[in-house]
Chains A and B, each alone.
Chain A
Amino acid sequence: MRSTLGRYIVNKVVWYLAAFLVAVTLNFFLPRLIPGNPVDMIISQFMRGGGSGTGADKMYKAFVAEFGLDKPLLGQFLTYLGDLFRGYLGKSFSLFPAPVTDLIRQALPWTLSLQLPAILIGWIVGNVLGAVAAYKRGIFDKTLFVSSLAMSSVPYYAFAIILLYLFAVLIPIFPAGGGYSFGTMPSFSFAFMGDVLSHYTLPFFSLLLISIGGQAVGMRSMAIYELGSDYVNYSVGLGVRESRVLSFVFRNAMLPQISGLALSLGTLVGGALITEVVFSYPGLGTLLFNAITSNDYPLIQGVTLLIVVGVLLANFLVDIAYGYIDPRIRAARTGER
């Protein structure tokens, strides 16, 4: 039994390493497919912005050396891998010479504190609502189902835009963007915390409501499926107490929902990119957006790499956890039945 689990874990490790390698390779090579080299683009932007010729020349040399563009591509790739291994992601173009890791480190806490509560609370509330709807049916179910379906078919960024308009422009009770008011200094005072909280509310609710809708739809259909299954009919026939039957149903319907939670935790880093752009919230999404608009390739690559690592890590942990929890899955995935 132990050796099966051991093999399963080794299998998974190899698997995710392969996926990681593919992702890193794409991350390295795709931006280099741009016609011309990225440095030319930066320099031409700099010149258009009124930069001096000698300044541009200096910049060009600095960037080429920094990026290693004078070396052959394979050599560059090996250097890149070596740098990654040491946790070095290069220097930003647009905010030269700030290291990419520093910029990410500043943005990451904003993103995490926005996403983590939204995912967790949305998951809990959505599942409870979905289960209740499946059990009660009738008008409660109809209302909830249609509104959840409508909620989950409005793309989250469009919903964010509507919220921004309704509660920051039409009825201006919340600020229209940013992480804190312009001109305030980040500190641990009550005034600053309150300010942060009022900037936090709209992006948070735009993510939360969408997440509740999605989870409720999933839980409802799972619970309805379980309610119609043989073991429920059998238990009801045997005269098992209703609350007990419901607890069976709930537990069975929860299983796929738990892996759903783990997977949405994987999108913790990359799931709210556009929400942040809409609210100019100072997290990774805004950082990525600014990097894209200023052709800051090292920064783009840093952010995309972080998102990939987050998702792969979450998937990996889910798979390993499942291997421990469910012997059936373990057997099926190593090819034994």
Chain B
Amino acid sequence: MATNTRFLNLALRNGRFKTSVILVVFVVLFAVVGPMIRGADPQAIVGGPYQGPSAKALLGTDNFGRDELTVLMYGTRTSLEIGVVAGIIAVIVGVVIGTLAGYYGGIFAEILMGFTNIVITIPSIIILILLSIALGTRSTFAMGVIIGVTSWPWTARAVAAQTSSLRTREHIDIARLSGAGDLSIILSDVVPYVLSYIGMAFSLQLASAVLTEAGLSLLGLGPSNTISLGILLQWALLWEAVRQGIWWTFVPPTILLALVSFGLLLLNSSMDELYNPRLQQQKGAA
């Protein structure tokens, strides 16, 4: 309990942490509460094509005359959904492989990490392109799964390294001596120690998944029959909105992509600062 209040104090004094939380909360509210307030069907036609921002349509309309602000909210929501699915899958696969390899060690770890290294070595964009093509049509969930199953190796590697250093700690020996099974040791004596890292890994995986989705969409491999931030950018390029200077079709999605990734990167680095006493000292000394 005492550590929790200390942590909270540190967190509240850390400007970067506060900024990042505000950014992330803003984006989430925009994507989750926004569509509820607007309530409108994102596909509804509200005006002529490519009308500039006005009181009626705050961010103007797109090439079909749909309201850009509504479309943007739904797009952000889809992107975050893809990011969350991908992040959860990547973290679960990464933590399972990482803790197993780190805890058991030996030939078992060699095999698991060998597999991980092969997946790391093959550029993930290639596997993503091939998987997307193999699927043909891609739902929001499928996009998340595709991105998740290609992005876990870094998490696995880091968790394996941390777990293998934990393995020789005394509290693990004590648990083993008192007759606890491997699974119970992993769940109650290993995972809690890497929990802060898992949270940080999730924020990074989420951010990179949102950006990956946008990249795939620009290559023509985005989610089918839905709107995401990447799909919005792809439309802007495909229908020459960029070259016609219709800035409200591509500047807002770009800003949201940047907010998501900047907010989560900042959150990650400030969490690192909070959990890592060495960085705090450095900051105090500087």
Show the binding face of A for B, using Cβ within 8 Å. 15-16, 18-19, 22-23, 26-27, 30-35, 137, 149-150, 153-155, 157-158, 161-162, 164-165, 168-170, 176-177, 224, 228, 267, 270, 273-274, 277-278, 288-289, 292-293, 297, 300, 304, 307-308, 311-312, 315
Contact = CB atoms under 8 A, between A and B. Distances in A.
Interface string B134-148: 101000000000000
Most chain B C-beta atoms within 10 Å of own C-beta, residue among A30, A158, A270: A158
B243 A18 contact: no
Does more than half of chain B's interface fall in helix, strand or loop, or is it mixed?
Answer: helix
B118 A161 contact: no
A15 B218 CA distance: 33
Most buried by A among B123, B245, B286: B123
* Closest 9 A/B residue pairs (Cβ): A30-B130, A33-B134, A153-B262, A158-B254, A153-B261, A30-B134, A169-B245, A19-B121, A292-B220
Nearest to A275: B218
Interface residues of B, number: 41
Contacts of B237: 161, 277-278
B265 A149 contact: yes
B254 A154 contact: yes
A318 B104 CA distance: 30
A182 to B, nearest CB: 14
6 contacts: A18-B118, A19-B117, A23-B126, A35-B136, A155-B215, A161-B237
Contact of A177 (B214, B243, B257): B243
A34 B126 contact: no
B138 to A, nearest CB: 12
Contacts, number: 128
Interface in B215-262: 215, 218-221, 233, 236-237, 242-245, 247, 250-251, 253-254, 257-258, 261-262
B276 interface: no
B134 A31 contact: yes
Given A19-B122, A158-B257, A292 B214 contact: no
Contacts of A137: 286
A162 B257 CA distance: 13
Given A30-B134, A150-B262, A155 B129 contact: no
Given A153-B265, A155-B214, A304-B129, A169 B134 contact: no
The majority secondary structure among interface residues of chain A is helix
A311 B254 CA distance: 29
Nearest to B286: A137
B126 A304 contact: yes
B126 A308 contact: yes
A277 B222 CA distance: 15
A331 B134 CA distance: 42
A23 B125 CA distance: 12
Nearest to A288: B219
A161 B233 contact: yes
A33 B130 CA distance: 10
A273 B125 contact: yes
Interface in B177-218: 211, 214-215, 218
Contacts of A31: 130, 133-134
B261 A164 contact: no
Interface string B9-40: 00000000000000000000000000000000
B203 to A, nearest CB: 13
Contacts of B242: 161, 164-165, 169
A26 B254 contact: no
A259 B237 CA distance: 35
Contacts of B251: 162, 165
B219 A292 contact: yes
B131 interface: yes
B242 to A, nearest CB: 6
